[in-house]
A and B are shown apart, each in its own frame.
Chain A
C-alpha cells in the first residue's frame, strides 16, 4: 500500500522503520499515495501545509496520525500511539477504503486562493506591461542577472517543504531558482521543542548512561543519515540495506558496517555524485561534529572523556570536507561506535564537561551545539553556500550536512 509520510518533530524514525516493512511502500509525493501518515508532532505553523498535502492525496484516501500527541491537525484521522506498530492499522484502513466500507477522507481546504486575483494592468496580472505583479499572491517570475553566465533569465520563487521527504522535519525552504541554479535561499524553521536525536544523548548530559547504549544510538544515527543520502540519489535498495544494519546494530557489529562502507567506496558512482560537492573549509565549518571532522578539523569531545579514554578512543578524521568525506566519515564513525560499544561492556559514562552528540559537542548549559563567535551555525552555512549551486548539488549538500532545524529554533 502506498503511504506518504508527513514527518513532524520526533517523527524521523517512523519512515525508517516503515521502509523495512514490505507491506508498506513509501512514496515521494502525496499524489502517489493512498494513505497519508502524519508522524510525530506537526508544529502549529505547518498545520495548513499538512492540510494541503492531505488534499493532494487523491481519493479514495485515508489518514492516520502516529505518535502525534495532543490535538491532531487532521480531523477524522485515525490516531496511533507512538509505541504501537502502525502497519496493521494502516493495512486495515487501506482494506476498508478499497472495500468501500470507509468513505474517502473529505477535502480539508481551503479551496479558494488565500489572496485574490489582482486584476490590474494591461494583462490583468497586477504588474506593469507584461511583467511583474503577484496574481493570487504569488509573485511572477522576473528576469535578473544570472550567477553563472550573466544571462538574463527568469528568477522563479519557490517554496519547498515542510513535508518534502528529504527535508529535515520542521524546515521549509524559500528559494529563488534560475533554471536549475539557486539564486537565494532562506531557511524557515518552525517552533521546535526538541532536538532531532536519540533521547539517550539528552539523558547523558545529566545522568550516568551505559556507554554501549550511547554508542549504538550514535551508530544508528549515522547509518540513518547515510541512508537519507542514498535515498536522495535514488539508491533505495542500498538505503534499505543500510537501514537494516542500523536496526540490527549491536556491540561488535562494526564489521558489517565496514564491509558496507567498502562496497559503497567500490561503487564509483557514489564518488561521482558526492565528491567535491558542498566542500566546507576555513570559517565555513562547524566547530565540532562529523561534518567538521570530515574536513580534518574539529575535536571529538570523546577524546577528553575518561570513560572513552579507558577503552582506547581515537577520533576518526577525513580531510576533504565535501559531501563524500561526510558520508565516509559517518560510516567510519558508525563502525567505530559499534566497536566501542563492544569494548565498553557494561561500563557507564558519567556526565562530563562536554558530550559528543551525533552532530557535535554539547554541554548541559548550552542549548545549541558549541558555536564560537564568527562561525555560522549549520543552517546559516547552508544559506551562505546555496547561491550558485545547482538544485541537485544543493540537495546533496543539505542532506549530507544532516541538519537539525531545532538547533536554530532552540537557540531562539
Chain B
C-alpha cells in the first residue's frame, strides 16, 4: 500500500519521534504564552518554563498507589504517543513528503484517533484511584461524539480530491483552500482536536473538578510522558488541520515545509486560544451538543462537498 514517496524506514523511524518531541515542546510554549495573554500578563519566560518543568519532573522519584495496574499505567502514555506517531505517518511534512503517504491516509488517521479512547481509559483505570477512573469513564462517554465529527469532515475534504490520500487532499487545494471551499470543516476540526487532546471545553478526562482526572496520581516521568504525548497529539492534529483545510504546503515565497509549520502553528494557536477561553462543558451537555449541533453541521458540510463534487 505504501507508495514510492514513502521515506526510507530509518529516516521515518527517527522523524516521527523528533516531530512529536519538538511539537510537544512547541505546544507547551504556545500554551503558556496563550495562557499569559489570556490572563493579561507578559508571556516572558514561556520559552524556558516547559524545559524547567520537564527537568523537575525527571528528578522526581516515581510514585505508586495502592494496588495499581502498573503495566497498564506505564503503557497508557506510550500507547497514546504511539497513536500520535501512527497518525503522524500520513500527515505531509513538506511538499510530497510524509512518513508513509498511503492511499488510505484518512482511514489510517481515523483508526489511530479512534484508539485514543483506549489509551485514555487505561490511563484512568490503571492507578486504581476514584478520580482518575471517573476521568476515564467520562472520556469514553464523550469520545465517540467528536470522533464522528472527525470522520465526516475528513470525508468531505476527500471528496474534491477524489482520494483518501492526504497528499492528494493537499494537492486538490492548489487553487482554493478547503477552509474557503468547505467553511464548516476547520471549526469542526478545532473541536475534534480539543476532544482528542482533552483540552478546554471538552477536558472531561483530566478536568479541574477531578483534580486532573486521569493524571491525578501521576508524578515525575509518568506525568511528563503523558503531557508530552498530549502535546505531540496536539501537534499531529494541528498539522493535519493545516494539510486538510489550509492548503498544506501551498503558499508563495516560503518553501513548502515552512508553510506547513506556519499553518500548523496557526491551527495550534487557535486550539489553545479556545482551551484558555472556553470553560469545561458538563459531559452530558457536551455530548448532546456534539450530536445535535456538531453532527448535523458535519453532515451539512459533507452534503455541500458532495453536491459541489457532482456539479
List the interface of chain A (C-beta within 8 A of B).
Answer: 1-2, 22, 28-29, 31-32, 34, 56, 58-60, 98, 156, 158, 164-166, 177, 179-180, 230-238, 240-241, 244, 267, 269-270, 272-273, 277, 390-393, 395-396
Contact = CB atoms under 8 A, between A and B. Distances in A.
Contact of A395 (B38, B141, B209): B209
B39 to A, nearest CB: 4
Given A156-B130, A166-B209, A233-B208, A2 B56 contact: yes
Contact of A234 (B39, B59, B137, B280): B280
Contacts of A270: 279
Contacts of B56: 1-2, 34, 98
Interface in B202-226: 203-204, 207-212, 215-220, 223
B217 A269 contact: no
B219 A180 contact: no
Given A166-B209, A236-B35, A272-B281, 18 more contacts: A29-B215, A58-B61, A58-B219, A58-B220, A158-B130, A166-B208, A180-B141, A232-B209, A234-B208, A234-B279, A235-B276, A237-B277, A267-B279, A269-B278, A272-B279, A277-B282, A390-B283, A392-B283
A273 B62 CA distance: 36
A36 to B, nearest CB: 13
B212 A32 contact: yes
Given A28-B208, A32-B219, A392-B209, A237 B134 contact: no
B40 interface: yes
B285 interface: yes
A272 B281 CA distance: 6
Contacts, number: 128
B60 A393 contact: no
Nearest to A55: B63
Interface of B: 35-36, 38-41, 45, 53, 56, 59-63, 130, 134, 137-138, 141, 200-201, 203-204, 207-212, 215-220, 223, 276-285, 289
22 contacts: A22-B45, A28-B211, A29-B216, A32-B218, A32-B223, A34-B56, A59-B61, A98-B59, A166-B209, A232-B209, A234-B203, A234-B207, A237-B35, A237-B277, A238-B277, A267-B279, A272-B285, A273-B285, A390-B284, A391-B210, A392-B280, A396-B209
A390 B282 CA distance: 9
Contacts of A273: 279-282, 285
Report which residue of A60, A158, A272 has the largest number of chain B beta carbons within 10 angstroms of its beta carbon. A272
